[in-house]
Every structure is written in C-alpha cells, then in structure tokens.
Amino acid sequence: MKYGITEADRIGQTELPDGRRLGWAEWGPEDGVPVLFLSGAAMGRSLGFGGDVVAGRGIRLVSLERPGLGASDPDPGRTLDGWAADVEAFLSARGLGRVPVVGFSQGAPFALACAAAGVVRSVAVVAGQDELTHPDLSGLLDPHLAGMMAAIGADPEGFAASFAEKADAEGMWQLIVSMSSDLDRAVYTDPAFEGHYRRALAEGFAQGAAGYTRDLVLAMSRWPFDVAGITVPVDLWYGGHDTSTVHSPDHGATLARRIPGARRHLLPEAGGSVLWTHAEEILTALV
C-alpha cells in the first residue's frame, strides 16, 4: 500500500508579527480548498496524508509545524491559547481565511484550541488525544500514563526539563511501535511507510526535544478552554484497533458527548493509523 504518502508540492516558512517563523508543507493545487493539518507528537512537516486524493478533490493540504519542531522557531512559554493566536496570524499572513483543520494524535488539543478560539471553521480529530485530566476519564487511564500526568501536574517545567534529556527521534519511534496494535504496527513498519514516519520524527527533533516536551506538557495538562463551548462542526475519527494509551481511552465516546453536535466515527476495522488508511473518508467529511 502507498498510504497516500507523497513528497510535498511546496515547503516554506511564514513570519508571524513577533518575528517568529512557522514551517509548513503543502500538497495539492495552490488554488484548492485549504485544509490545515496539525500532526502528531514530535512530527515534522514532511509526513502528510491523502497525497493521492487531494488533487482530485481540489484540496490544498497545509501541514503546519508547532514551535520548536522542524523549521518552526521555538516559543518556550507558549500555551494552547497562544497556539491558536499563532494559527490565526499564520492564516492571515498567507491569506487562507478560516479553514477546516485536521488534528492527528497529539495534534488534537491544538486543533480543538483553534476551534474554541474561533479561528477555524471545522475540525476533524483523528485518533486524537482527549483531555486526559477530565474527571470522566479518571478511571480509564493506563496507570503509567496517570503517573506521568501526576508528575506533570506537580512540576510541569521540571518534568519537561527532565524528559527532554532523554527524548529523541529513535526513542519516540520505539514508543510508538510498542504502544501500537498489531494492525497499526504492520502499517508503521511497512517499508512504504516507516522511512517517511522516521523522517518526520527526525525533523521534529531537529532543534532538540524542547518543542516536543512543551507540546507534551500542554496536551497532558488541563486545557485552558472548555470543549463544550466549541460551536464549529467537529468530527471524531477513531479505529477500533487503536491501543495507544495516550489517545482516547474510550475512542472519543465521552469527548463526543462533551462537544455540542460532534459526530463520532468509530471504524472497527481500523487502528490509530486511520489517518492514512481512511484519508479520503476523513477529507470528504471535512470539506
């Protein structure tokens, strides 16, 4: 299988009002309907999805790197709300307007922050991380994950500094593979996929681990917005074979109940790799 992975048609950086630059990559026609893509943990801009369908659908997929990852300048003290402001400035600078956004895995809270701030017009959360501090999930969390979250809650800056000392692209790859189901492991280690994923992780750690560890702390702390206040359309996509402990412990069931009008798609035959195995369905529903 190709999994819809192709080389980006365009790459670049865009300067924000404060002088920082955000790195991006694009697939599809320049005059296509823009769709913003916020990738998973520690992933750089090169690993898109749906590369085999975006042109035919008239979609311009824009993968945007968060601060400190890949070609994006760092912003050590950033917040989820601050990220939404960055996205708004990025979209304005590039003349893209309010666009649909896809948030994959750890990209989900960053996508939902944009929705809560009203800077995007619809959201697809794909194998997304839930607000793991929410009381509805307290009894469902993996014990190791719960311990990590307790450490973050007690000393977020200390945790980030300590975790950054040992985090790297190879360790992230091994963690992803170890947490994956047999179905997802077969996708990620497929020769047609593995090299692309590893390349994206190498990009993500190109400036060191600080960008990733800041993302981790923000995603696993209490979010500064209430998903119940989101008013744009939200689709939640999960695969029944997704065994990652850091996504949603109930495959988005409680998250769907908390977001007004959210549509939950649970695909029993898919896994956490649903972004690449069902890209056309996800993009069609979004746009």
Question: pLDDT value at position 263?
Answer: 98
- This prediction's pTM: 0.97
pLDDT at res. 40? 98
Residue 169 pLDDT > 80, yes or no?
yes
Confidence of residue 157 (pLDDT cuts 50, 70, 90): very high
CB 39 within 8 A of CB 212: no
pLDDT over 70, % of the chain: 100
**Type and span of the H or E element at 200:** helix 194-204
Q: What does the mean pLDDT of the chain come to?
A: 97
Is the model's pLDDT at 112 over the cut of 90?
yes
Could you tell me which of 102, 112, 149, 133 has the C-alpha nearest to residue 285?
102
Identify the pLDDT of residue 1: 64
pLDDT at position 256 over 90: yes
pLDDT of residue 27: 98
Buried residues in 99-128 as b, exposed as e (16+ CB within 10 A): bbbbbbbbbbbbbbbbbbbebbebbbbbbb
Domains of the chain: 10-286 (3.40.50.1820)
Virtual CA dihedral for 88, 219, 272, 62, nearest 10 degrees?
20
